Chains A and B, each alone.
Chain A
Amino acid sequence: MRGSSLIVLVALALGCGKPAKSEPIKPAPPKAAAPISTPERAEAAKALFEKAAAEFHNPSADATGSQKTQLLEGAAKRYEQLLQDYPDQKRWCAQALRSLAGVRAEQGDTDTALKHYDRVATDFGNQEFEVLQAWKAAADLLWDAEKKPEAKAYYRMIVTRFDRKEIPPVYKIILNISKKRAGN
């Protein structure tokens, strides 16, 4: 008995007990349509970013104790919300992600901060100035923490991408210090 039961179970598992007519294959559930960028959505994303910065992130710089903690979390929450709700708004998402990295750095969570800084380049590579800011912030964070080899890797990335003839004034200064620190 036990043996036959086992056979039945195996047969069921293999589909032997199914009727000859197979069930129609259900189409995969449609993916949620990517939101279309509109001026209204750009304005809403901008407003959310500015609210996060002006009401939470920037005031946290002068706050202390639990107030600072709350403000940083408030900022992080809104940056995350922007990234989730407005993926079509690349410019504001890039700023939100870089700012979120800044919040995590301020909270002492260097690993998460670095992951977010990295994602700015991978997810929003076209936002050149955001990439530069993210890599420079990551490099400085590591440099100040005496993690020189890791910091040098970021400085090198800056040199590789931004060492060209026509660059704006801010890029020039960053490029010079990056070359120096990367050991080029």
Chain B
Amino acid sequence: MQRSSFILVLLLAFSAQARINVTSLPGRDSVQLTIYNSVDLTLVKETRTLTFKKGSNRLEFSWANTLIDPTSVEFRPLQKADQIEVLDVRFPPRVTNTLEWNISSEIAGEVEVEIRYFTSGIAWAADYVCEANATENQMTFAGNVRVTNRSGEDYPDAQIRLMVGVVRLVERISELAQRETTINLGAPPVNGSGFNRKPGRWAGFGGKSLDDLAKKSEEAKAVVKEAIGEYFLYTVEGRDTIANGWSKRLPSFKAAEVPITSYYKYEKERYGAAVMRFYKFKNNKDSKLGAEPLPDGSVMAFRSVTKDSLYNFVGRTVVKYIPIDEEVEMQLGNDAEVRIQPKMMDWKKVDIAFNKSGNVDGSTTKATWEIELQNSKNIPVTVDIRRNFSGDWDVTTDDKFEKVDATKIKFVFQLKPGEKRTLKYTLTTRTGTNARK
């Protein structure tokens, strides 16, 4: 329901003192919100059909109790523009925070007009839901946007567009927001949000059953994306009512059978004694994604544990902006079912070197380590173990490892369900005159 704070009244007779033939306007024909999070600005474009009389007409616009920027308010006829002209803007003393356009019309009759302005107080945030299959090699990945309205104004049946990217100039915002929308008239959002959407939004599939629409759902995108230089414009399909003081979660996309790599990392210096679980995927077409960059957002991850899709909560994380073709690593917290426990089994100092005065000048130490690995899960897992060293060091082991950099190595193992194994290595560290580098 539209709040009374925002009033448009057409004064059909021009009079400086009296209000004659005051006519309440019909509601908005359409509203479009383009939300720029980075600068807390939303461009509102609304269309209304006004009935003009020939001569002077007065149109009142109030921004009382809203966060509308009154300096940004613009009126323009969408039809017969050469016959309708705004001559003046007045601030009538009889009311507060209201402006009044004095509009000259050469015609009498209905004209569609656009009223455009910026408001603050509307924001959006992306969130994602990852549903991994039981073997954690595929997931269904769904994106949503939550729009929050604290602008003081209700926006019923609004088309919502979201701008991703850092906006530097208001003029640039305005220019971008004036681009024509590319509206996807496809099927309904696949995950059935349960929002009160108007039946008319599915007009593109007139005469078809809901089942037909569901079959089409794989092709559907509830949010249309459009690249504009360094920005990205998302258009939420259909229309939704964004009431003041409320927030609403709108489906953005849903992709099934997205390949993922599930693995575990152990690195004492980064994660302490815990084994961290990660899901990795690529934002590209091979992964059934890649149609657009994915904005920053929170991720909730679940894993299917039974055939009837009972899900276990795996973890939650936050992802940064993910460009197209970029690989994403989601850190989902520790997993007690995968255990990695290093133990030092032996340590000795050898090759002690003395100088002419008989003082120790250099030495070499040899430390023998055993790392116990245990997978208590009923699926195979990949573990990535990283060890950090300093100084002049060497590692000898029967297991394969990779040198990551001058101070780090990594071991990668595949562990079968329930498998337990031990990794052994000896670290040789040389100091003083024994050091070779």
Contacts and interface: CB of A to CB of B under 8 A. Distances in A.
A13 interface: no
A15 interface: no
The majority secondary structure among interface residues of chain A is helix
B93 A54 contact: no
Nearest to A62: B19
B93 A169 contact: no
Contact of B96 (A102, A144, A177): A102
Contact of B93 (A50, A103, A168, A177): A103
B94 A173 contact: no
B93 A101 contact: yes
Which of the listed residues B17, B65, B92, B93 has the most CB atoms from chain A within 10 Å of its own CB?
B93
Contact of A173 (B88, B93, B95): B88
B72 A61 contact: no
A170 B95 contact: no
B73 A106 contact: no
B86 interface: yes
Which of the listed residues A105, A144, A173 has the most CB atoms from chain B within 10 Å of its own CB?
A173
A167 B351 CA distance: 80
Contacts of A113: 93
Contacts of A171: 71
A99 B91 CA distance: 10
A95 to B, nearest CB: 7
A177 B87 contact: yes
Contacts of A105: 93
A113 B16 CA distance: 17
Interface in A57-72: 57-58, 60-61
B168 to A, nearest CB: 14
A156 interface: no
B97 interface: yes
A174 interface: yes
Contact of A137 (B19, B87, B91): B91
A99 B99 CA distance: 13
A66 B39 CA distance: 47
The majority secondary structure among interface residues of chain B is loop
B151 to A, nearest CB: 15
A173 B86 contact: yes
Contacts of A137: 90-91, 93
A181 to B, nearest CB: 9
A61 B100 CA distance: 14
A60 B88 CA distance: 24
Given A173-B89, A174-B89, A58 B96 contact: yes
B394 interface: no
Interface residues of B, number: 24
B74 A169 contact: yes
Which of the listed residues B87, B92, B96 has the most CB atoms from chain A within 10 Å of its own CB?
B96
Nearest to A145: B16
A170 B89 contact: yes
Interface in B249-291: none
Contacts of B96: 53, 57-58, 95, 99, 102
B297 interface: no
A174 to B, nearest CB: 5
Contacts of B362: none
A81 interface: no
B333 interface: no
Given A144-B16, A177-B87, A168 B72 contact: yes
A149 B97 CA distance: 27
Contacts of B95: 53, 57-58, 61, 102
Interface string B384-421: 00000000000000000000000000000000000000
B324 interface: no
A61 to B, nearest CB: 4
B9 to A, nearest CB: 10
Contacts of A144: 16-17
B165 interface: no
A57 B95 CA distance: 6
A169 B91 contact: no
Contact of A169 (B71, B87, B92): B71
A54 B64 CA distance: 9
A111 B99 CA distance: 23
B93 A102 contact: yes
Contacts of B156: none
B97 A61 contact: no
A129 B91 CA distance: 11
Nearest to A141: B93
Interface in A38-77: 50, 53-54, 57-58, 60-61
A129 B71 contact: yes
B72 A106 contact: no
Contacts of A170: 70-74, 89, 99
For the complex of A and B, the 8 pairs showing the least CB-CB separation, nearest first, are A102-B93, A168-B71, A53-B96, A105-B93, A61-B94, A169-B74, A144-B16, A133-B91
17 contacts: A50-B64, A53-B64, A53-B95, A61-B94, A95-B96, A102-B95, A102-B96, A106-B93, A136-B89, A140-B91, A168-B69, A169-B71, A169-B72, A171-B71, A173-B86, A177-B87, A177-B89
Given A60-B94, A61-B94, A169-B72, 7 more contacts: A53-B64, A58-B64, A61-B19, A61-B95, A137-B93, A140-B90, A169-B71
